[in-house]
Amino acid sequence: MKTLAKSALGVAVAAAVAATSVQASEAVTMDPSLTFTYKNYYFDTNNKDAGKKSGHDWSHALIADFDTGYVNDLVGAVVTAGYAGPLDVDSGFATNVAGGSDGKQDDAISGFQQAYLKAKHSFSGVDFEGTVGVKKRGLETYSDSGSRVLAASSTGFDLSVGFEGANLYYTELTGFSERNTSTLSNDLVLGYTEYGADIDSEDDDTDVQLAVEKIQILGATYSYEGLDLAAEYGKSKEAVQQTLLKAGYSFELDDVSSVDLDARYGRSKSAGNLGDKAFGSDYKSKYYNLNATYNYGSAYVGVGYNKTKDNDYVDYYVSGNNDSFNSSLAQWEDYSLAEEKAYLVSAGYNFADQGLDGLSWDLWYAKGTDAKEIVDFKRREYGSYVSYAFDGSLEGLSLAWLYVNYRAQGGADDAKDQGRLASLYDADINRLYLTYSVAAF
C-alpha cells in the first residue's frame, strides 16, 4: 500500500486538532451507525457463440458498515469490512469471488473495503469537506465498481469547497483494490496486450503491466433552477488523461409531466510515456452524447445518441474495475468503438401509483453501427431490470432481476485489431440480486 500524500494527512490532522480545541469546552455530539448487509447474487451467462462455454457464479457476502457520523459536526470515520464466498461457481466464470489456484474459480475473499477519515466545516456560507483513506469513489471520469457482492475501492484523498449551487473538488489517488480481492490497496498499474502476428492464436500474445504513480482529478459542478453543469479533467501520470463536459436541463410541462435534456462531451488521450506504450503515441479519442427523456407521472421514455471519433475510447486511468464511460450508451457493453454510431431507446415505470411501493421496471434497446476497421460490424442489445424493495416487517430486503440479450458480430483482418473484438459476442445474461440490510444502531 502506498503512503498517502503528506498534504492530505496534514489536512486530516489539522481538522482533528481544530475539532478538539474548538469543542473542548462543549459536550461531544455524534450520531454513529452500524449496518449489517447480506447479499446473495446469482449471475448466469449463456454464451451463444459456437465453442464457447456457458456458466454461472452464485456467491454471497456479509458486510458491516460502521460510520461515526460527524463528531461535533466536524470530523468522523467510516470503516467497511466484508466477506464474500462461493456457493456454486463454474470454472472460468468467477466474478464475485477470486479465481481459485485449483482452477475451480471458487476462492473466498475477505477484508476491509473502506477505511477513511472525513471532515467538514462551513464558514460564511462556504462549505469545506475532505476525506482521506480507502473508500469507494464515484466521479465523472472515475468510478470504483459496486456491481458485485463486494465493492472496489481506491486509496487517496478528496477535497471540495461549495458555495450555493457551485462546487469545486480535487481527488488524488495512489492505490486501488479490485472488487474480487481481499487486498486493502494495491499499486496502480496500466495493463495492455501486445498482440502477435497470428490473428487466430493467443500463444504469441504478451500481457504487459506498467506501474503508474498517481491519478489526479479536478472538477466543478453548478446547479441552478433545473440547470446542471459539470466539468472534469483527470490524468494518470504519464498514462491517460480525460476531459468530461456535461450540461443538463430539466423543466416541467404541467403538474404531471416534465422533460430532461442533457449533452455530454468526452475526450481521452495519451498523457505520456506509459500511455504511448499502451495505446500509441498519437492516441486520442472523443465522443458526443445527446439525450432526452419525457417523464409522465411514474413513467418515462427516453432516447439517446452517441458518436465516438478517432479511436476506441479509453475510459480508464489505470487497469481495474474503475472505468467510467460517462454516456447513456454505457449499457451492458460500452458502445464506444472508433467511429461507432450508437442509439438508445429506454422506458421505465415506478408502480407506487398502483399501490406497489418499491417496485420499478426499466427497459432499453441499444444499437451500434459503423465501427472503423471491423469487418461486417453490427451489434445490439435489449435489456430489462426489475427491482422490488420491501417495507413493513421486511424493510431492508430487496430483490432484483437483470436480463440482457446481447448480439454482436464483426471480424478483424489485422492482428492489431484483435483486442477490439472482445466486446463482439452473442450471449444471454441473467443476474438475480438479493440484498438484506439491518441497522444495529
Which whole-number Å values give the CA distances from 256 to 46, 250, 299, in the listed order?
41, 14, 10
Closest CA to 305 of 221, 378, 369, 232: 369
Is pLDDT of 288 > 70?
yes
- Asked which of 138-152, 208-222, 342-356, 407-421 is least confident by mean pLDDT, the reply is 407-421
Domains of the chain: 246-441 (2.40.160.10)
Is pLDDT of 280 > 80?
yes
Q: Calculate mean pLDDT across residues 156-160.
A: 98
Is pLDDT of 21 > 60?
no
What pLDDT was estimated at residue 412? 74
What pLDDT was estimated at residue 309? 97
Backbone angles phi, psi at 393, to 5 degrees: -70, -20
Is pLDDT of 8 > 70?
no
Q: Calculate mean pLDDT across residues 360-370.
A: 97
DSSP states along 111-169: EEEEEEEEEEEEETTEEEEEEEEEE--B-SS-B---SSSS--EEEEEEEEEEETTEEEE
What pLDDT was estimated at residue 325? 96
- Asked which of 135-144, 309-318, 408-417 is least confident by mean pLDDT, the reply is 408-417
Pair 1, 173: CB distance under 8 Å: no
At residue 200 the predicted structure's pLDDT band, cuts being 50, 70 and 90, is low
Dihedral angle at the C-alpha atoms of 200, 419, 183, 42, nearest 10 degrees? -80
**Model pTM greater than 0.85?**
yes
What pLDDT was estimated at residue 357? 93
Question: Cα 225 to chain center, whole Å?
Answer: 28
Alpha carbon distance 412, 389 (integer Å): 45
Is pLDDT of 331 > 60?
yes
What pLDDT was estimated at residue 26? 61
Query: Can you say whether residue 416 is alpha, beta or left, with left for phi > 0 and alpha for psi between -120 and 50 degrees?
Result: alpha
The more confidently predicted of residues 18 and 169 is: 169
H or E, element range at 15? helix 6-22
How many CB atoms are closer than 10 A to CB 344? 23
DSSP states along 192-220: EEE--S-TT-STT-EEEEEEE--EEEEEE
What pLDDT was estimated at residue 107? 85
Percent of the residues in the chain that have a pLDDT greater than 90, as a whole number: 79
Closest CA to 364 of 385, 382, 350: 382
Half-sphere exposure of 138 (CA within 13 A, CB side): 5
